[in-house]
Amino acid sequence: MKQVYEALNWASSFLKEHGREENVAQIALGFVLGMDRVQMLANLRQELTEDEWREFKQLILKHVDGEPIQYLIGYEEFYGRKFLVNPNVLIPRPETEELVFGILDRVKKRFNVGGAENGVSRLDCVDIGTGSGAIAVTLKLEMPELNVTATDISVGALVVAENNAKRLGAEIRFVEGDLLTPFVGKERFDIIVSNPPYIPLADRKDLSDVVKDHEPESALFGGLDGLVLYRKMIGQLPKVIKEKALIGFEIGYDQGVAVSNLLKEQFPLAEIEVVQDINGKDRMVFAYVE
């Protein structure tokens, strides 16, 4: 029977041969053995049982056929927490962790949170197109002073997001609806955050089959130029933001100028910044309006 290191070596080579990422081997085996990466490396000589080897091999074969490993094992890690995922939701990406960090950092700088004199004890925040709930849940857990609302047009996605919020102990209000439409003329927010579908339809051919054949298209594509949902959301913003507001969007690597221009047209006096991700690509646009 195979030992841990032999199973990892086989899977890494097999994945590489088939053009898949080798780190999937560690994710899959960690899931089967109930171990994290450190525990696995400390137990490289441990023998797998027949059942463990069979389950591990199945995961690797299914992933090579194109199924995302996160859907196969049922979760993805985000900001140090496990979020349940299934084909109703986009799999959270590391770049989106940077969006969350950017929002938290700017909220601390821009708003006097915590009930201090002249400060605010609560801030109203909305996450548009919440998917798995990764952004909304993380913001609430990292900054409990926020009143967090999360929306999605997909009922299936909201079920996943609500489940994640409950499991992780985040008190969030969930609303079914199209972008900011449920709030127009009814509610206003201090913070608006969104990682909307932003891939242009023409780029579909360049995506990995793991992504385009399995993740929900409604969470990937943003029309012909990828900007359809930004235009709609930014058009709705004046009707849903408070006098002083922070807006944060995740964007495609080549959309920084376009999205910041859309915001400038709507809010000529806003402070707008395009921020790069850890790989040096434009990935976030923040706007501060007052």
Extract the annotated binding site for S-adenosyl-L-methionine: 129-133, 152, 195
Nearest CA-CA partner of 199 in 219, 183, 174: 219
The residue length of the chain stands at: 290
Question: What's phi and psi for 45, nearest 5 deg?
Answer: -95, 0
User: Which parts are annotated binding residues?
Assistant: 129-133, 152, 195-198
What does the alpha-carbon distance between residue 225 and residue 35 come to, in Å, rounded to a whole number? 43
What does the alpha-carbon distance between residue 88 and residue 133 come to, in Å, rounded to a whole number? 12
CB 53 within 8 A of CB 29: no
Question: What's phi and psi for 125, nearest 5 deg?
Answer: -125, 140
H or E, element range at 20 = none
What does the alpha-carbon distance between residue 12 and residue 25 come to, in Å, rounded to a whole number? 6
CB 227 within 8 A of CB 259: yes
Indicate the SS3 state at residue 194: strand
CB 59 within 8 A of CB 31: yes
Token readout for 262 is 């859309």
Name, in order, each residue with C-beta under 8 angstroms of 264's C-beta and a sequence gap of 6 or more. Answer: 270, 272
User: Which parts are annotated binding residues for substrate?
Assistant: 195-198
Measure the N-to-C terminal CA separation of the chain; round to a whole number of Å.
Answer: 65
Helix, strand, coil proportions of the chain in percent (round to 5)? Answer: 45, 20, 35
What does the alpha-carbon distance between residue 244 and residue 271 come to, in Å, rounded to a whole number? 12
